[in-house]
Amino acid sequence: MEGYRLNLLLSREQISSIVRHLADQISKDYSGRELVLVCILKGAFMFLSDLVRHLRIPVQVDFVRLASYGSGMKTSGKIEITKDIEISLEKKDVLIIEDIIDSGRTLQFLKDRLALSKPRSVKVCALLDKKARREVEMEADYLGTEVEDIFIVGYGIDFNENYRHLPEIYYVTPIDHPKG
């Protein structure tokens, strides 16, 4: 897209090491449990697919898609489910797989919503966390890495549906055009 520059934030190797570390922790903590990973579409699809390949425990996988009004760089307050879970969560341990925590509103909404299905537990695994932008109380139980208040793309994460395919993670900055 014109007027923007992509700057490398995390290489493939850095992402891979973060994902392996998370998979290790999750494999230990949920050993012997009935774990369901609930992936938030679309942004977490690549993270989910890498994460499951490194787990050493059996899991079930399901997907939700959430719509929040407003596009581009900001999540608005109102959130809706446009694709719901399809497998039963009753008495199971649920781990939500999310790309980025920003205001925290998406996860707050989804945790409350999934709790209605009577799971044994609901926890959160997020690849990235912009703690400085939090508007509601929300902590990831498993976190890849904290990032500053920058706009991220790549590795499943988009800017108006672009850049999801990139295997690395970048942050977007505007290109300054010199006068004249």
Binding mask 80-99 for ligand IMP (x = CB under 6 A): ------------------xx
Residues 40-79 vs ligand IMP: string with x where CB under 6 A? ---x-------------------------------x----
Q: Which of 19, 23, 39, 152 binds ligand IMP (CB under 6 A)?
A: 152
Whose tokens are 């499951």? That residue is: 52
Piece in contact with ligand IMP (CB under 6 A), picked from 10-18, 30-38, 81-89, 100-108: 100-108
Does 117 bind ligand IMP (CB under 6 A)? Our answer is no
Tell me how far apart the alpha carbons of residues 145 and 53 are, in angstroms, rounded to a whole number: 20
CB 46 within 8 A of CB 75: no
Sign of the CA dihedral running 100, 105, 108, 110: negative
53 vs 84: CA distance, rounded Å? 24
Cα gap 35→24, rounded to integer Å: 15
Among positions 100, 110, 124, 140, the unique one binding ligand IMP when judged by CB under 6 A: 100
Catalytic residue positions? 102
